[in-house]
């Protein structure tokens, strides 16, 4: 596996991979890889001839009081995992390569990015969309793979690719979970043992709400019950628990398919997100 840090070398290496009409899948990540990321890589291997993974902790998607500096980084471990999966190329640019001095153009995500995580993290999705657009232009993949774990992000990337005429397929991979239901996340590493034990209250409450809503219970009451259960389970606060149209992300006051239950909650300094299909 080649590890590449500059754009000229990247272009040459991707051109070599694409020789003879071979296809390339891109899996963008911020590193601190876990089985969820590796499930995206495996999907890439199934749908394309070569897989390119990017690792870039993107400063522009973190708010001033968020965990950019503390975000877990272990490139050597990540590279070994990716090499073991048969990844062709690891694209790991420095911030100064991604955003050279004078960088001044960005993408603004309108209504899809304003609610849910966008409300709690102003500017977050502008940063995500901008860096993903840059990654698409840098690698020119035939297909890019994102996790359903970040449902709002996936919807925004699909919309961006359509709005800006990126010529590629976007695939979503199912949420990978621990045995107790907690979604895998690089940020789970922040949890103390006690917080990690309490964290299962989050998926448990969401699953209960999914069952209730799919069974015809009142949506508002089901969402309120989930929020209560998350806090009772040891979380400090709930950013949102919402029923949304799975595609447009419009908030739903009554169930209609296709719907998704979206949620974010805070335990100590750690903010966790999760989502489930409903019905
Ligand atoms: P991140 O490194 O957190 O930016 O995530 C990189 C990609 O991996 C994103 O497309 C995420 O949605 C995806 N991902 C992260 N955690 C999971 C998970 N538990 N299951 C599926 N995909 C995930």
The confidence score (pLDDT) of residue 86 equals: 98
Residues 257 and 241 sit within 8 Å (Cβ to Cβ): no
Per-residue pLDDT tens digits for 176-196 = 999 999 999 999 999 999 999
Would the CB of 150 count as within 6 Å of ligand 1? yes
Predicted local confidence at residue 10, as pLDDT: 98
Mean pLDDT of 193-207: 98
Q: What is the 3-state secondary structure (H, E, C) of 211-230?
A: HHHHCCCCHHHHHHHHHHHH
pLDDT at 157: 98
Percent with pLDDT over 70 in the chain:
100
- pLDDT of 202 higher than 90: yes
Q: Does any ligand 1 atom lie closer than 6 A to the CB of residue 175?
A: yes
Ligand 1: centre distance to CA 11 (Å) = 25
Q: Atom 7 of ligand 1 has which residue's CA nearest to it?
A: 29
- Contact partners, residue 253, CB within 8 Å, separation at least 6: 219, 220, 243
Q: Whose CA is nearest to atom 14 of ligand 1?
A: 147
Strand 2-4 to 89-91 pairing: parallel
Q: Which pLDDT value is given to residue 111?
A: 86
Please write the tens of the pLDDT for every residue from 215-244: 999 999 999 999 999 999 999 999 999 999
Active site residue 34: no
The single residue of 11, 34, 37, 124 carrying the catalytic annotation is 37
pLDDT by residue (tens digit) across 62-104?
Answer: 999 999 999 999 999 999 999 999 999 999 999 999 999 999 9
Q: Using CA atoms, how far apart are residues 172 and 89, in angstroms rounded to an integer?
A: 21
Taking only the tens place, the pLDDT of each residue in 116-137 is 999 999 999 999 999 999 999 9
Q: Is the CB of 241 under 6 A from ligand 1?
A: no
pLDDT for res 188: 97
């Amino acid at each position: 596996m080649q590890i590449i840090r500059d754009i000229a070398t990247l272009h040459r290496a991707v051109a070599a991979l694409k020789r003879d009409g071979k296809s390339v899948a891109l899996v963008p990540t911020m590193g601190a890889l876990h089985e969820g990321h590796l499930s995206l890589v495996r999907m890439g291997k199934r749908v394309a001839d070569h897989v390119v993974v990017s690792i870039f902790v993107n400063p522009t998607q973190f708010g001033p009081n968020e965990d950019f500096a503390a975000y877990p980084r272990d490139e050597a471990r990540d590279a070994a995992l990716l090499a073991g999966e048969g990844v062709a190329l690891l694209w790991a640019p420095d911030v100064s390569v991604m955003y050279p001095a004078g960088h001044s153009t960005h993408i603004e995500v309108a209504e899809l990015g304003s609610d849910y995580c966008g409300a709690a993290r102003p500017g977050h999705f502008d940063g995500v969309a901008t860096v993903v657009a840059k990654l698409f232009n840098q690698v020119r993949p035939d297909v890019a793979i994102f996790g359903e774990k970040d449902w709002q992000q996936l919807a925004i990337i699909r919309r961006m690719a359509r709005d800006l005429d990126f010529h590629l397929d976007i695939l979503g991979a199912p949420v990978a979970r621990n045995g107790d239901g907690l979604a895998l996340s690089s940020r789970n590493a922040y949890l103390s043992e006690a917080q990690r034990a309490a964290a299962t209250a989050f998926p448990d409450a969401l699953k209960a709400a999914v069952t209730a809503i799919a069974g015809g219970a009142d949506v508002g009451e089901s969402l309120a019950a989930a929020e209560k259960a998350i806090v009772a389970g040891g979380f400090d606060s709930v950013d949102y628990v919402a029923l949304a149209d799975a595609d447009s992300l419009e908030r739903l006051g009554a169930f209609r398919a296709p719907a998704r239950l979206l949620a974010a909650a805070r335990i100590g300094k750690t903010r966790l997100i999760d989502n489930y299909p409903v019905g």
